[in-house]
Structure 1
């Protein structure tokens, strides 16, 4: 995986607290581990990273702090690149990223942590192809067509290649405005990995968190892309499906069919993927099977990770990180994220494996 070098200046913005309304936390969000008694945990932990996790983080913070009222959890959705940089630099206690750490980042994180680093797949979500074309509320797009649109080789909505897969749809002779992320983004990297694997030569760029095509329209973070697509006519972009809102979304060509995104279709891809080898027993990074032909599987998916140290200098900090990550990956935490952010819960088998790594978090 290629990413922007950590050698550039690291900007460490203040971590801001998520504002979580009481309505975001229903009875189903209360951690079963509370047992009805008062929690003995107290203190503050700070995290920053992937904006795709924002809705899930709001739900997790609400559920966790309801059971642990003396704990404050802050999460700043600055984007995956910023989240990795801040964690590696020691500016946060945990980080969120839509792409697992590359070799250089992992080495730097191990140095910061003084040992092992946890990479926990906490949030699995489809990446939706969002669009706004007046009069078009259904759209089928094959991988090569998506690649050509975002590479600006297909520039009109009534292009024959789009029309071929959308019989009966009145496609306008309207310019296509592709919208991409302006910031380094794990969502961008996941989207490009899909294009590279599924569209082949029609996407000639090596995947990274930075957008490689000049022109088009760029917007910061997931919310910015959604706003830009929503505010135009003829616009198309990519965003975490949980934040697509009322925007129309395209069905994606998989084999001989077109598949609509769903948590179940996203989970099917992860189940078919393999864990990255040679990264240690606390890393649960996956190489996603982007070019699948399996019926019902949605191939544009991001697996968003939480990164943390296996060992902290402060005992109280270690206990808080361990408790919060345990809640996030618990059946209840995953259900909360699914209900509030539309994510796909991790499997029981994967939960058992990552929980074992979380249980090992300690203080030096």
Structure 2
């Protein structure tokens, strides 16, 4: 899917009030805009490729940004996090959307040599989108399901194969669990959602989940589905299926509660944002002063939900082309702003960045040149 100026018209048509309010609320706050949209000095095309989890949010941001900056065409293709990082590093995109930050070895001048960056200045990981990852399932007669980390790891590792397994039954004494085979569904593409789920399983259930965190599914067997929409469709149309997806895309599917401490947590926007605020920023190791990579604390307790994706915009610190730099800076500054975050909350049901993190990321985006 490519979100262009033409495609954005549909988003504006279905969310006219949002577009109008965004225009009014952000008229003076968005870089590149002055008192009216017609006075924006920005022009040209901006190309992004990446995370499908944030597709709805990107549609909203594109529509609102183009309303304020009619000389700019923004194209965002939600082809997956891995595809986004690859396109950015290879010079195929101005920015990437990724459900994990780029690693230090991906930020070196050598790794960015083919990108649109001044490679000597590196690249930035800027958090823009927080969402819980829902454990979605389709089991006839089961609408309430509770799982702990070990049991979830056992299911996805292929060690728990029946829905009436004793471990699942012990967590769900009132459920009528069928003697049905479990069909775990995983992403077929290199996915930031997979990366975040496997990070959680490795951190919280290491005795069961022996695989390193990865964007590529490490376990043989089960069914594979491309991108978020493919995952949701496969779980929906299967029997005895279980998978994982951005919670905002779960639709009518049943969603499991996950054990945190002594309670079971729902994947809400509030509980997802809470774990980000309890996590630490990564510094050093080749990351610039303006990089905002965050290491999520998967073991945090309290009013949190632990299976969370924090999606990043990946951009050059310095671009080879000054016009590209201005467009990226303006777009990402709006996306990270309080107004941009609230615009997307209304449509994507995401968790907004906290006020402090929003301010910090917007300030980092403003350093792009």
Q: Same fold (TM over 0.5)?
A: yes
Partner of 1:59: 60
Offset, 1:103: 2.3
The alignment status of 1:132 with 2:123, answered yes or no, reads no
Q: How does 1:1-364 map to 2 (within 5 A)?
A: 17=4, 19-20=7-8, 21=10, 22-25=13-16, 26=18, 27-30=20-23, 32-35=25-28, 36-37=35-36, 38=38, 39-107=40-108, 108=110, 110-111=112-113, 112=115, 113-114=117-118, 115-278=121-284, 279-292=287-300, 294-362=301-369
- For the aligned residues, what is the CA RMSD? 1.6
- Give the match's secondary structure for 1:333: helix
Paired with 1:99 and 1:289, the residues of 2 have a C-alpha distance of 14
CA deviations on 1:108-145 (whole Å, 9 max, x unpaired) are 45543221312100001100000011111110000000
- Give the match's secondary structure for 1:344: coil
TM-score (norm: length of structure 2): 0.91
User: Unpaired runs of 5+ in structure 2?
Assistant: 29-34
Paired with 1:289 and 1:357, the residues of 2 have a C-alpha distance of 23
Question: Is the CA contact (8 Å cut-off) linking 1:46 and 1:94 kept in structure 2?
Answer: yes
Paired with 1:337 and 1:16, the residues of 2 have a C-alpha distance of 15
Offset, 1:42: 1.7
Offset, 1:31: 5.7
Question: Is the CA contact (8 Å cut-off) linking 1:310 and 1:361 kept in structure 2?
Answer: yes
Question: Is the CA contact (8 Å cut-off) linking 1:156 and 1:175 kept in structure 2?
Answer: yes
Paired with 1:249 and 1:15, the residues of 2 have a C-alpha distance of 29
Question: Is the CA contact (8 Å cut-off) linking 1:182 and 1:218 kept in structure 2?
Answer: yes
CA deviations on 1:3-40 (whole Å, 9 max, x unpaired) are xxxxxxxxxxx966382312135233326342551222
How many pairs are equivalent?
348
